Amino acid sequence: MSASQATSQLASTPASSLTARIAAEFAIAHAGAAHGGGVRTAAAGEPVRGDAGRQGGDAQAAHALATRPEAALQALMDGGLPTSRDENWKYVNLRPLEKVRFAPPSSAVRPAMTAADLPAAVGKSRYVFVDGVLEPSLSTTTAVPGVTVTSARGSGAVAAQNAAASGTGNGAAAGGAVAARGVAAGTATGDAAGVVSAANGTAAPGDLRFALLNEAFATDGAQIHVARGTDCAICVELVFVATAEAKAGASYPRVSFKVDANARVGLIERHISFGNDANFINCAVDVEVARDASVQHYRVQQTGARAIWFDTLTAKLAENAKYQVHTVNLGALSARSTVYVKLLGERSEVGVFGASVGGKNQVHDTFALVDHIAPNARTEQSFRGIAGGRARVAFNGKIVVRKGAHGTDSSQSLRGLLAGTDAEIDVRPQLEIYTDDVRCNHGATAGKLDDNMLFYLLSRGLDRETALRLLKWAFLEDVVSKIEVPELRHQIEESLAGRLEAPLPMENL
């Protein structure tokens, strides 16, 4: 479908003023790409890699990639963006969307940046994406056996860098490119169809619509494929840097993470701002964990103080698969994270762990849905949030146990701490159970610091501010201590310490 055809079709679709503006920006951006503007390579009908158009399978994958943005936009137009009237979005501040530009920014206006401007690297390989596009000059690509990392827009170059780093020459580069094409083809035919079908009512429609927005506008993305039997505790670190002001363009980080059977792997994912702290960021991450594989996924959100950050993570787990996602939210003026995990295989296990610290007028909202489809699966949700100033921190955790998912074992521990008289904490555990023979428990608390604990520390000679910081630190450590990478945990603890040292109104505690 061409840009003009897409515009004609969408013109007949009823839309709000916001979705109409999104459609108009999409048409302009993709028309520019079709005339060599380069907004999105696939949308212009070009292959993802240099020789892809010469092979039937690759041409088919390229065609699928080219039609995905239009399909995603049509689904978004049909369903519309969520509003504050939607139950799972009532805590989110959506008003800033009225002032942002949805199309990606021009790469010509990016500020100069060096590796010294980024957080210290952790892991064997680091891939840096600036406003959603891979920046090779800031990346450190070290070949890891069994792990293929490619860029959706320039994967041939990345595969060649990996081969050069390993010293294997042209043969390895060719093999890497073949593997990359396989991952791309799978992503083109699988992920988009899954998101679009979800938006049409198959699963959590209103909560996955920002993933459709990402699908429509994303210009690049990280595609990670971990081969069967690979063992690498921390293989890859992804750093997504937003530099453009929201009025100039949006950043669309995108990750496809496929882990084959019997593999054990770790992934670090960071989101930061540079040069401008008023960004609009819309991230989409898709994870697939095959049978008997184990994944540790660490996500750190430290975007600018005026940034708007939306995030959608979807994951599918096969038999005996284990997936733990650790999320730390510190930045952004308004941040919304949607997590949707499907336990498709028997005895699969997922852990959703989150820590959030909000101050001033920040809004941090998370909706985490775990869908138990297979029997004997296990879920653990644990959240700790602190709200100071006039901040609002919310976590809505939902677990659905389908008919036939007997033997399910789930637990939820959601706790919020009020660190200011005008702050708000909302923690909401939900259970929907449609079968017998399950063990599900949940607990949620929100309130102020324990007066007895504070009195105890004061009686031992600590000053009030130090005692308060220690109590808040202990509160967060329930979740932070689960991070198994010492270097990363130390960096996160330093960031948390900086936030906890900031003056927050603590009256009446």
- Residue 255, classed as helix, strand or coil, is strand
Give all strands (DSSP E) within 46-124, no chain letters.
none
Query: For the residues 324-337, what does the mean pLDDT come to?
Result: 97
Judged against a pLDDT cut of 60, whether residue 111 lies above it is answered with yes
Judged against a pLDDT cut of 90, whether residue 161 lies above it is answered with no
Between CA 103 and CA 99 the distance in angstroms is 13
pLDDT mean across residues, the chain: 83
Task: Spell out the residues 6+ positions from residue 255 whose beta carbon is closer than 8 angstroms to its own.
Answer: 221, 222, 223, 224, 238, 269, 283, 284, 285, 286
Q: What is the pLDDT of residue 503?
A: 45
Query: Among 166-175, 339-348, 360-369, whose mean pLDDT is lowest?
Result: 166-175
Confidence at 186, pLDDT banded by 50, 70, 90? very low
Q: What is the pLDDT of residues 298-311, one digit of tens each?
A: 999 999 999 999 99
Q: What is the pLDDT of residue 444?
A: 95
Amino acid sitting at position 155: S
Q: What is the pLDDT of residue 497?
A: 86
Q: What is the pLDDT of residue 274?
A: 95
Confidence at 376, pLDDT banded by 50, 70, 90? very high
- Intra-chain end-to-end CA distance of the chain, in Å: 60
- % pLDDT > 90, the chain: 63
Q: What are phi and psi of 433, to 5 degrees?
A: -120, 125
Residue with tokens 């750190």: 300
- Name residue 251's beta-bridge partners: 281
Cβ atoms 75, 212 nearer than 8 A: yes
Amino acid sitting at position 325: V
Edge-to-edge order in the sheet of strand 133-134: 133-134, 125-130, 231-242, 264-273, 294-302, 322-329, 349-358, 378-387, 409-418, 439-447
Judged against a pLDDT cut of 90, whether residue 428 lies above it is answered with yes
Q: What is the pLDDT of residue 14?
A: 45
Between CA 43 and CA 63 the distance in angstroms is 9
Give all strands (DSSP E) within 196-245, no chain letters.
222-226, 231-242
Judged against a pLDDT cut of 50, whether residue 177 lies above it is answered with no
3-state helix, strand, coil in the chain (%, to 5): 35, 30, 35
* Helices and strands, number each (H, E), in the chain: 9, 19
Q: Structure tokens of 438? A: 């399950």
**Best-predicted range by mean pLDDT (33-47, 429-443, 448-462):** 429-443
DSSP code for 449: P
Judged against a pLDDT cut of 50, whether residue 185 lies above it is answered with no
Q: How many residues does the chain have?
A: 509
